[in-house]
């Protein structure tokens, strides 16, 4: 019997495309590509592969504008993860992915499998995973639902990441009413590998064998990809669409896979994540320009009676698909067996470009791999959201008067700013003995014992609060902040991986925000010369409570060359009494481009999200990055911290808290109501607050002048109070703000932790 | 002095231990596979941290029954030195090589941070390089590190000097705030009666280089080298 004799989907169902989550036009396109109607199994395969999650059908055209190449880029978007050359024969693989939909339904398992999935993407490049970062969004923590989500997600990340032995070294958390029912969980993973051992997902060599390795296949997560491509519906129980992870098996899979790759017999490899076997087989075959003949009978299963379509779509975790040289199968099986895992030959690579699937010899599906892997592409209508610009005008004279000291304490206790220690102490951030700068600073810094002259820095940034008001500027700010975080540690940014989290792209106003975000991302990365090496788009983040704001999250990796010669990699806390405090960057001049628009100050102190977020002078920013990298290299920097959420005053307070030292500084306050708040709490500009020894001040000033970056000496580190005085306004002799560091610390340490403890 | 580091399925600190012993301490070290029922020629066996067998059932419970544990039991009976770090400590307790039990942290959460630990007994083969009452900075990273023993046993442990490490504050005081997991008597590490088997929850291998913030843990490995010289 051949596939053609089976009943077609059209014959067995009414409106079959609806069940597969496709449109009538897409069904027609499938028939056109096949020259016939698909059978129900084939249609289900198209359904998952042409889902938004797998096909990027609404985003691909727009994403083409992103800068993705550079001299160090060994693999860019389109592979399981981007790979960057770091020199001396070493490379890093880097990728971020969202796991928003599963986490909304099942915070623990959704987040845990998000970690597992991204780790396998890095593994698929032949790299050993060495670090994880998470970017999380929740509703306001006063809401018990948001706290339940927070605890579940953190526990999921902690359980999976800790058990698998990959340190979680950094991350960020933002809260906002938009995320109460639609939390965001974006996880990034970094891997280390030798340049010559980069693995590929391109299936090659007719006659080579196709193997499934790792865990057994069950019914979990079927239709996960399609589920992640639709809005959340509270009436339905969608937990069956969430996969369940097993970090123990994940750890064994890492070791066994790296051992198998080291044999040299693995031709191609890919994670079996979204859309399971269907996705891995069709993408690997399509990328290699070959076909595969597979028999599902050989797939090791954890339950009986599974239909072929269930085996094809299962998203059971901790599995990889490999193409290996014929003859090596016994050796590969032996490796996986020794680690207590499955490894079975399913079939072989064929020259003919066809994915021919049978089950115990009975034909199941016969499809051209590229027809599955290359979904349709849409460029939906885009329209600026009505009334968006109405939020921009900001009249500071309307704001009620709040004493600066009170505002600072409120900001430090705001969950967006307060210490996230209550989260990261639940993550093993030290395993693998690499973490030189621990979580809590601007960027995490990892040493590489394999290659001691180099160190890597990692940061993740993004703000939905800015996205609400101006998606273009929000994207630019995410990139520039991440780059500034790396430069604070002296690291040269190498590459970006991003998660673009949006609502329904079929809504023209949402799609406009997507287009503008990608433009912002693209412009910022081009201006700063940082390629985007991969990432992920997550659409349909909306529920009955409404859509999320455009939320662009950027994870960036940077390199410290000659790290062993750097006398001290600066962290954020002040280091020594008597050190001088300097502000470098555009905010240090007489006319700073600072604004309270979209600021944390307005949100936390006045309960408003309005104004226009700051514009970044990208050429200035680029000079600032260079200055910082050079200053750290020369050992001129004792501590450094960028001014972001809460502006200058919050950055200064954090330097005091982290260094357990006070500071006395003087700032110039222009005339006019609200200008004081703008200087203290305004955001934007490209500003880094650093401290240096009194002897090094002159060298830093000259270096800043050489780089054409404004710089201002503000004061001195010392004592146990933070005192901010005004040079030109207020009551003479009376500082703008004078608080014990102990009080600042208490606000900052408990601001987030209290919600973690609260039921 | 030759070290063996056991690799259980789910061990996560095995490579870290091998690295510190080989590259920082400069001593030979070999991996030991969990399924082997014989030990290679070694003087010290280290059971590293991690989540052996996913810590399913109970932390360390399944690993305690693996073939290599039979060999380690004989090795210990013959006076061989056995060091269990974190999950390794849990395995030693589950295997009955050390007394007491390790329960879930009082907070019920995993906790990773650097804590202070006081040396209570500098006379074991693992602590010769320390002095009595020395306060160390060592990282912990565990969810089940609350040491428990019934009070008659605790009294015995205390009087025999089997309590080797205790959680304390920076000044060496054992305060409730300085006890990260709720262990009885603030116990962070104990040895057997003979003194040749030590288990501790903190990670000495994570504090063996100044680049990682503390070298206090390295002295534990140094102690073993001193021990070897003394025996020779």
Task: Please check whether residue B14 touches A, CB under 8 A.
Answer: no
Does residue A245 carry a pLDDT above 90?
Answer: no
* CA nearest neighbour of A713 among A737, A689, A747, A732: A689
Cα(A278)–Cα(A312) distance, integer angstroms? 5
Q: Hey, are the CB atoms on B16 and A339 less than 8 Å from each other?
A: no
- Which residue of A116, A166, A215, A431 is the best one to mutate when testing the B interface, meaning the one whose CB has the most B CBs within 10 A? A431
CA angle, residues A362, A366, A370, in degrees to nearest 5: 155
Does residue A589 carry a pLDDT above 50?
Answer: no
Contact B181, B111 (CB under 8 A): yes
- The shortest C-alpha distance from B211 to chain A (Å) reads 6
Of A248, A251, A431, the CB nearest to B16: A431
Which pLDDT value is given to residue A224?
62
Question: CA–CA distance from A31 to each of A36, A83, A308, A388, A640 (Å)?
Answer: 5, 37, 21, 42, 60
Cα(B34)–Cα(A697) distance, integer angstroms? 57
The answer to whether the complex's ipTM is over 0.85 is yes
Task: Please check whether residue A162 touches B, CB under 8 A.
Answer: yes
Q: Which of A58, A99, A429, A664 is catalytic?
A: A99
Q: Hey, are the CB atoms on A247 and B51 less than 8 Å from each other?
A: yes
Q: Which of B86, B94, B120, B185 is catalytic?
A: B86
Cα(A91)–Cα(A70) distance, integer angstroms? 14
Radius of gyration of chain B from its Cα atoms, rounded to whole angstroms: 16
Does residue A557 carry a pLDDT above 60?
Answer: yes
SS3 A446: strand
Of A340, A425, A430, the CB nearest to B206: A430
- The shortest C-alpha distance from B35 to chain A (Å) reads 9
Radius of gyration of chain A from its Cα atoms, rounded to whole angstroms: 27
Give the DSSP H/E element, type plus range, for residue A722: strand A721-726
Residues of B in contact with A340 (CB under 8 A): 9
Q: What is the mean pLDDT of residues A658-669?
A: 94
To the query of whether residue A53 is one of the catalytic residues in this protein, the response is yes
Residues of A in contact with B111 (CB under 8 A): 425-426
- In tens, the pLDDT along A184-201 reads 999 999 999 999 999 999
Task: Please check whether residue A430 touches B, CB under 8 A.
Answer: yes
Q: Which of B116, B142, B186, B203 is catalytic?
A: B203
A-contacting residues in B 86-115 (Cβ below 8 Å)? 109-113
Which residues partner with A86 through β-bridges?
Answer: none
Residues of A in contact with B112 (CB under 8 A): 162, 424-430
Task: Please check whether residue B166 touches A, CB under 8 A.
Answer: no
Task: Please check whether residue A623 touches B, CB under 8 A.
Answer: no
Average pLDDT, chain A: 93
Q: Please give the residue of chain A at the shortest CA–CA distance from B212.
A: A436
Cα(A87)–Cα(A466) distance, integer angstroms? 37
Of A427, A431, A435, the CB nearest to B12: A431
Which pLDDT value is given to residue A587?
58
Of B9, B55, B211, the CB nearest to A340: B9
CATH number of B3-231: 3.40.50.880
What letter does residue A217 receive in the DSSP assignment? B
- In tens, the pLDDT along A208-227 reads 999 999 999 998 867 666 66
Contact A325, A267 (CB under 8 A): yes
User: By CB neighbour count within 10 A (0-12 exposed, 13-18 middle, 19+ buried), where does A506 fall?
Assistant: middle
Name the residue ranges covered by the structural domains of chain B. 3-231
Residues of B in contact with A252 (CB under 8 A): 9-10
One DSSP character per residue, A499-548 reads EEE-S-TTSHHHHHHHHHHHHHHHHHHHHHT--EEEEEEE---EETTEEP
Cα(A253)–Cα(A238) distance, integer angstroms? 28
Cα(A116)–Cα(A219) distance, integer angstroms? 18
How far, rounded to the nearest angstrom, does the alpha carbon of residue A369 sit from its chain's CA centroid? 29
Beta strands in A25-115 (DSSP E): 73-75, 82-87, 90-98
To the query of whether residue B203 is one of the catalytic residues in this protein, the response is yes
Task: Please check whether residue A686 touches B, CB under 8 A.
Answer: no
Burial B149-158 (b: 16+ CB within 10 A, else e): beeeebeebe
Region of poorest pLDDT, from A12-26, A311-325, A583-597: A583-597
Q: Hey, are the CB atoms on B112 and A164 less than 8 Å from each other?
A: no
Q: Hey, are the CB atoms on B15 and A158 less than 8 Å from each other?
A: no
Burial A390-406 (b: 16+ CB within 10 A, else e): ebeebebeebeeeebbe
To the query of whether residue B186 is one of the catalytic residues in this protein, the response is no
Does residue A331 carry a pLDDT above 90?
Answer: yes
- Tokens at residue A728, please? 């030109």
Which pLDDT value is given to residue A568?
82
What letter does residue B50 receive in the DSSP assignment? B
Does residue A241 carry a pLDDT above 60?
Answer: yes
Does residue A413 carry a pLDDT above 50?
Answer: yes
Q: Give me the half-sphere count of Cα atoms (radius 13 Å) on the Cβ side of residue B84.
A: 35
Domains of chain A: 74-198+433-561 (3.30.1330.10), 200-375 (3.90.650.10), 567-759 (3.90.650.10)
Cα(A85)–Cα(A216) distance, integer angstroms? 35
- The shortest C-alpha distance from B78 to chain A (Å) reads 30
- Which residue of B56, B59, B110, B138 is the best one to mutate when testing the A interface, meaning the one whose CB has the most A CBs within 10 A? B110
Does residue A630 carry a pLDDT above 90?
Answer: yes
- Tokens at residue A73, please? 């880029």
Split at pLDDT 50, 70, 90, the class of A273 is: confident
Task: Please check whether residue A432 touches B, CB under 8 A.
Answer: yes
* CA nearest neighbour of A743 among A409, A416, A417: A409
Does residue A233 carry a pLDDT above 70?
Answer: no
Of B110, B141, B211, the CB nearest to A447: B211
Split at pLDDT 50, 70, 90, the class of A127 is: very high
Residues of A in contact with B56 (CB under 8 A): 248
Residues of B in contact with A449 (CB under 8 A): 19, 23
Which pLDDT value is given to residue A292?
98
Looking up tokens 């970062």 gives: A133
One DSSP character per residue, A164-204 reads HT--EEEEEEEE-GGGSSS-EEEEEEEEEEEGGG-------
Handedness of CA A244, A248, A252, A258 (dihedral sign): positive
Contact A416, A604 (CB under 8 A): yes
Which pLDDT value is given to residue A590?
41
Does residue A729 carry a pLDDT above 70?
Answer: no
Helices (H), A374-507: 404-412, 421-424, 464-469, 471-488
Cα(A383)–Cα(A454) distance, integer angstroms? 46
Cα(A282)–Cα(A595) distance, integer angstroms? 50
Which region, left, alpha or beta, applies to residue A643 given φ > 0 means left and ψ of -120 to 50 means alpha? beta
φ and ψ of A178, to 5 deg: -70, -20
φ and ψ of A492, to 5 deg: -85, 120
Query: What residues contact B195, with CB distance under 8 A and at least 6 apart?
Result: B123, B124, B125
Query: What residues contact A731, with CB distance under 8 A and at least 6 apart?
Result: none
| Spans in chain B with pLDDT lower than 50 | none
Task: Please check whether residue B206 touches A, CB under 8 A.
Answer: yes
Q: What is the mean pLDDT of residues A486-505?
A: 96
Does residue A104 carry a pLDDT above 80?
Answer: yes
* CA nearest neighbour of A55 among A86, A31, A26, A75: A26
Cα(A74)–Cα(A95) distance, integer angstroms? 14
């Amino acid at each position: 019997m051949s596939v053609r004799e089976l009943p077609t989907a059209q014959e067995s169902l009414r409106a079959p495309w609806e069940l597969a989550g496709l449109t009538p036009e897409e069904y027609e396109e499938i028939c056109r590509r096949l020259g016939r109607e698909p059978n129900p199994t084939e249609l289900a395969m198209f359904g998952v592969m042409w889902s938004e999650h797998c096909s990027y059908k609404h985003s691909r055209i727009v994403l083409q504008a992103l800068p993705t190449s550079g001299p160090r880029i060994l693999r860019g978007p389109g592979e399981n993860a981007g790979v960057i050359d770091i020199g001396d024969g070493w490379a890093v693989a880097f990728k971020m992915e969202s796991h928003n939909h599963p986490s909304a339904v099942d915070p623990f398992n959704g987040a845990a499998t998000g970690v597992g999935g991204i780790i396998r993407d890095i593994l698929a490049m032949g790299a050993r995973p060495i670090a994880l970062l998470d970017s999380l969004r929740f509703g306001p923590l006063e809401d018990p639902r948001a706290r339940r989500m927070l605890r579940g997600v953190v526990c999921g990340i902690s359980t999976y990441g800790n058990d698998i032995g990959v340190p979680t070294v950094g991350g960020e958390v933002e809260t906002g009413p938009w995320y109460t029912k639609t939390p965001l969980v974006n996880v990034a993973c970094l891997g280390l590998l030798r340049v010559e051992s980069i693995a590929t997902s391109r299936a090659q060599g007719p006659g080579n064998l196709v193997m499934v390795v790792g865990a057994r296949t069950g019914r979990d997560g079927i239709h996960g990809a399609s589920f992640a491509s639709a809005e959340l519906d509270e009436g339905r129980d969608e937990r069956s669409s969430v996969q369940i992870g097993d970090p123990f098996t994940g750890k064994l899979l890492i070791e066994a896979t790296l051992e198998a790759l080291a044999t040299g017999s693995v031709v191609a490899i890919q994670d079996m994540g979204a859309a399971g076997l269907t996705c891995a087989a069709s993408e690997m075959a399509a990328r290699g320009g070959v076909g595969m003949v597979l028999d599902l009978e050989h797939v090791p299963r954890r339950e009986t009676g599974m239909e072929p379509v269930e085996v094809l779509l299962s998203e059971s975790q901790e599995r990889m698909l490999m193409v290996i040289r014929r003859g090596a199968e016994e050796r590969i099986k032996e490796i996986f067996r020794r680690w207590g895992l499955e490894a079975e030959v399913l079939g072989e690579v064929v020259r003919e470009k066809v994915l021919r699937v049978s089950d115990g010899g009975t034909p199941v599906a016969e499809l051209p791999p590229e027809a599955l892997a290359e979904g349709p592409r849409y460029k939906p209508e885009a329209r600026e959201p009505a009334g968006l610009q109405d939020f921009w005008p900001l009249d500071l004279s309307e704001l009620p008067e709040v004493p600066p000291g009170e505002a600072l304490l409120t900001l430090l206790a705001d969950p967006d700013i307060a210490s996230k220690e209550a989260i990261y102490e639940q993550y093993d951030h030290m395993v693998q003995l690499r973490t030189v700068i621990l979580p809590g600073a601007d960027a995490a810094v990892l040493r590489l014992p394999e290659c001691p002259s180099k160190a890597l820095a990692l940061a993740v940034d993004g703000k939905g609060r800015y996205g609400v008001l101006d998606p273009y500027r929000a994207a630019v700010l995410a990139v520039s902040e991440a780059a500034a975080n790396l430069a604070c540690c002296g690291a040269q940014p190498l590459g970006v991986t991003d998660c673009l989290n949006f609502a329904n792209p079929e809504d023209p106003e949402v799609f406009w925000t997507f287009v503008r975000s990608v433009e912002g991302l693209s412009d910022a990365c081009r201006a700063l010369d940082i390629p985007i090496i991969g990432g992920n788009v997550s659409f349909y983040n909306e529920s009955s409570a409404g859509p999320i704001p455009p939320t662009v999250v950027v994870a960036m990796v940077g390199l410290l060359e000659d790290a062993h010669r750097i006398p001290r990699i600066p962290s954020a806390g002040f280091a020594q009494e008597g050190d001088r405090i300097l502000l470098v960057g555009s905010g240090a001049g007489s006319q700073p481009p600072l604004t309270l628009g979209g600021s944390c100050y307005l949100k936390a102190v006045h309960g408003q999200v309005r104004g226009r977020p700051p514009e970044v002078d990208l050429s200035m920013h680029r000079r600032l990055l260079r200055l910082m990298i050079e200053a750290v290299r020369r050992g001129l920097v004792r501590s450094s911290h960028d001014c972001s959420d809460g502006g200058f005053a919050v950055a200064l307070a954090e330097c005091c808290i982290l260094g357990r030292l006070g500071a006395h500084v003087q700032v110039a306050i222009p005339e006019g109501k609200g200008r004081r708040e703008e200087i203290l709490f305004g955001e934007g500009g490209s500003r880094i607050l650093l401290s240096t020894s009194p002897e090094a001040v002159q060298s830093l000033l000259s270096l800043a002048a050489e780089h054409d970056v404004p710089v201002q000496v503000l004061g001195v580190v010392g004592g146990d109070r933070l005192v901010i005085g005004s040079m030109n306004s207020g009551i003479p002799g009376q500082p703008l703000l004078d608080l014990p560091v102990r009080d600042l610390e208490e606000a900052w340490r408990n601001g987030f932790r209290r919600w973690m403890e609260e039921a | 002095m030759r070290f063996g580091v056991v690799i259980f399925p789910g061990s996560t600190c095995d490579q870290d231990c091998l690295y510190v012993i080989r590259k920082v301490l400069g001593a030979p070290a070999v991996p030991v596979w969990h399924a082997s029922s014989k030990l290679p020629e070694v003087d010290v066996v280290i059971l590293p941290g991690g989540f052996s067998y996913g810590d399913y059932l109970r932390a360390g419970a399944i690993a305690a029954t693996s073939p290599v544990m039979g060999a380690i039991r004989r090795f210990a009976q013959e006076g061989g030195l056995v060091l269990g770090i974190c999950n390794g400590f849990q395995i030693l307790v589950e295997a009955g090589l050390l007394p007491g039990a390790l329960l879930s942290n009082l907070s019920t959460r995993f906790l990773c941070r650097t804590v202070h630990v006081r040396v209570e007994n500098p006379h074991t083969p693992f602590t010769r390089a320390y002095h009595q009452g020395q306060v160390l900075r060592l990282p912990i990273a565990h969810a089940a590190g609350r040491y428990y023993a019934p009070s008659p046993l605790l009294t015995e442990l205390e009087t025999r000097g089997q309590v080797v490490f205790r959680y304390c504050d920076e000044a060496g005081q054992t305060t409730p705030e300085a006890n990260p997991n709720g262990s009885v008597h603030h116990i962070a590490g104990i040895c057997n009666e003979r003194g040749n088997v030590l288990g501790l929850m903190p990670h000495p291998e994570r504090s063996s280089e100044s680049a990682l913030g503390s070298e206090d843990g390295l002295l534990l490995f140094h102690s073993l080298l001193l021990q070897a010289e003394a025996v020779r």
